[in-house]
Amino acid sequence: MNNEDIRVGVFVCDCGSNIAGVVNVPEVVEYARGLKGVEFADEGRWSCSVDALATMQESIKEHKINRVVVAACTPRTHEPLFKANIKEAGVNPYLLEFVSIREQVSWVHMSEPETATQKAKDLVKMGIAKAMLLEEGEEIRLPVKTDCMIIGGGMAGMTAASNVADQGFNAYIIEKEQRLGGLLNGISTISHDHDEILAADIVKAKTDSVESHPNIKVFTSTEIEAVEGYIGNYKVTLKANGKSENLDISTVIVATGMQEIEPEQGQFQYGSDPRVVTQLQLEKKLKAQDVGDIKDVVIINCVNSKNATRGCCAIGCPVSVKNALTIKKIKKDINVHILYRDLSMVKDEQIHLQAAKAAGIKFVRFPDDRYPEVIKNNGNLMVNVYDFLLGRELEIPSDLLVLTVGFKGSDTVEQVKGHLKVSSNPDGFFQEAHIKLGPLDFASDGISLCGCAKNPKSLKETCEEGIGAAMRASIPMKNG
């Protein structure tokens, strides 16, 4: 096609007031109309709405447009939509140029309408110039076979594997430890409606079904050495006991889980006194049904969470309530105090909270900026806490002090990032494709994400994500 034949259509979106509230859209449209090569330019209130898309198709046909510039929100979420739309109007989808005047203009220059309008004009002009150079392309579809590799054999990974395998696809679980189960191996019970189940029972049932599944192959004590290739065609090298093994893989599910962040030495006497433990260390005692000969348990919530660098640990509140109840069950006359900042329980968690209060567990709220202090007096641990609701300082003795600490991703996160070219946040939790609408995907096709590798969550949510990630990995495998 030579230059003469190029007919650019420019569609500028108001995005309600998201763009039009800042950028003078009619001015941008007028400006675009005057540019070389532009055959048609129009403003849309919501360009992505069904009627606007239909109108866009009509305009494309009517004005015989063969290059399309859309100036709107962001290509991240909307490019596929507009590509599909111009395709329906008979224009090759590769002839679309997307200009972001929301994320790059109206949202960053919210209080400078003039700068914003000028910048929008510049971007639209560049977009038009770029559009004129675009050439037709073709979607290349690579055949995708049916072998899925799951990295991490915790509950998320195992759940994903069984759902993949139930469809007749092959699932390979890679677990770096000697046994499957992850965090749950170290946990005593999981609370559930009105009672509890032993975590060990859940792990055993799941492990049995995974290990006996004809389509699942489990690699324990195994690590990934190298990954090469792209969706549908990864070459993976595994390393176990010094030996290497190769796998041909079509899709990948990342389920590498999380770990507790160890408190600093001396923080709340942690490390310097064996009576100070984390929740996970407490779980070990509870699993053995042996808390020792103790009288006073104090649990401090939100340790190293909800501060300048880290958010809420998400599961600490229900876990502290669950473990407090278990302690009471082991020995009724142990005094248990939970020191907390916020305690908002959803649905059934609320029932556990009430059960805990009925069992005599004491709840003390401390202010956000005034954490309890732990001192050692004649070998006894004392917790000083300012009771926010009573408005006075309390002194609580403690012969078992439990810290509800925050979490971070697995130690292997950096390695996995290198293999798969994916990203994570500073705490080592992987970054999903879209926080709202792409929660189980990575930005690269063919790799999905589930469980606590993304952020801390309950077992139920972990398993839901495992099932969902299996679906995301299966769609390309099912379609071949």
Partner 1 sequence: MNDSILIIGGGIAGINAALNAAKYGTKVYLVDDTASIGGMMARLDKTFPTNDCSICIEAPQMYEVDNHPNIETLTNTEIRKVKKIDGGFNVKLVQKARFIDPEKCTGCGACVEACPVSIPDEMDGKISGMRKLVYMPFPQAVPNVVVIDPDCRYGNMREKGACVGGCVVDCSQCRECPIALCVLACQKEGKDAVRLWQSNKNLKLEVKSIIVAAGIMDAKPPTGLHGYDVFDNVITYVQFERLMNAGGPTAGQIIRPSDKEHAHRIGWIQCAGRGLDHGVPYCSKVCCMVAAKQTIITKEHDASVDTTIYYNDLKAYGKGFWGFYQKAIENGVRYVRARPYDVVEDPGNKNLTIRYENLETGELVKEEVDLLVLSTGLVPSDRNKRLAKVLKLELDKFGYFKEKDPLISPLETGVDGIYLCGGATGPIDISESVVQATAASMKAVL
Ligand X SMILES: Cc1cc2nc3c(=O)[nH]c(=O)nc-3n(C[C@H](O)[C@H](O)[C@H](O)COP(=O)(O)OP(=O)(O)OC[C@H]3O[C@@H](n4cnc5c(N)ncnc54)[C@H](O)[C@@H]3O)c2cc1C
Among 280, 312, 359, 394, binds ligand SF4 (CB under 6 A): 312
Contact by Cβ (8 Å): 270, 376: no
> Please, which of residues 269-298 interact with ligand X by CB under 6 A?
279-280, 283
From 59, 117, 256, 335, residue interacting with ligand X (rule: CB under 6 A)? 256
**C-alpha to C-alpha distance for 258 and 152, rounded to whole angstroms:** 11
Smaller CB separation from ligand X, 48 or 315: 315
Q: Are strands 447-449 and 251-254 parallel, antiparallel or unpaired?
A: parallel
- Find the part of the chain contacting ligand SF4 (CB under 6 A) among 87-95, 117-125, 145-153, 301-309: 301-309
Q: Which two tokens stand for residue 57?
A: 């198709």
Nearest to 101 by CA among 8, 31, 52: 31
Tell which one of 152, 372, 406, 468 touches ligand X (CB under 6 A): 152
Question: Taking CB within 5 to 8 Å according to partner kind, which of ligand SF4, partner 1, ligand X, none is near residue 68?
Answer: none
Task: Compute the distance between CA of residue 19 and CA of residue 11 in angstroms, rounded to an integer.
Answer: 13
Residue 301 lies near ligand SF4 (rule: CB under 6 A): yes
Amino acid at 419: H
Whichever of 261 and 477 has its CB closer to ligand SF4, that residue is: 261
- Taking CB atoms, the residue at the shortest distance from ligand SF4 is 316
Q: Which of 302, 374, 459, 469 binds ligand SF4 (CB under 6 A)?
A: 302
DSSP 3-state of 144: coil
| Cα Rg of the chain (Å, integer) | 28
Compute the CA torsion angle 379, 380, 381, 387 (nearest 10 deg).
Answer: -140
Does position 342 interact with ligand SF4 (CB under 6 A)? The reply is yes
Q: Confirm or reject binding of residue 313 to ligand SF4 (CB under 6 A).
A: yes
Query: DSSP label at 400?
Result: E
- Residue placing its CB nearer to partner 1 in the complex, 300 or 449: 449
Q: Which residues contact 427 (CB under 8 A, 6 or more apart)?
A: 310, 406, 407, 408, 409
Query: Does the footprint of ligand SF4 cover residue 316 (CB under 6 A)?
Result: yes
Instruction: Report the sign of the C-alpha dihedral through residues 141, 145, 150, 151, in that order.
Output: negative
Identify the helix (H) or strand (E) that includes residue 27: helix 25-33
Residue 191: closest CA among 350, 301, 363: 350
Angle at which helix 316-330 crosses helix 348-358, to 10 degrees, equals: 40
**Residue 404 binds which entry of partner 1, ligand X, ligand SF4, none, CB below 5-8 Å type-dependent:** ligand SF4
Q: Which does 24 bind (CB under 5 to 8 A by kind): ligand SF4, ligand X, partner 1, none?
A: none
Q: Which span sits near ligand SF4 by CB under 6 A: 41-49, 297-305, 425-433, 436-444?
A: 297-305
Applying CB under 6 A, among 9, 44, 127, 154 the residue interacting with ligand X is: 154
Q: Which is nearer to ligand X, 51 or 414 (CB)?
A: 414
Q: Which does 187 bind (CB under 5 to 8 A by kind): ligand SF4, partner 1, ligand X, none?
A: ligand X
Q: Which residues bind ligand SF4 (CB under 6 A)?
A: 301-302, 305-306, 312-314, 316-317, 341-342, 344, 404
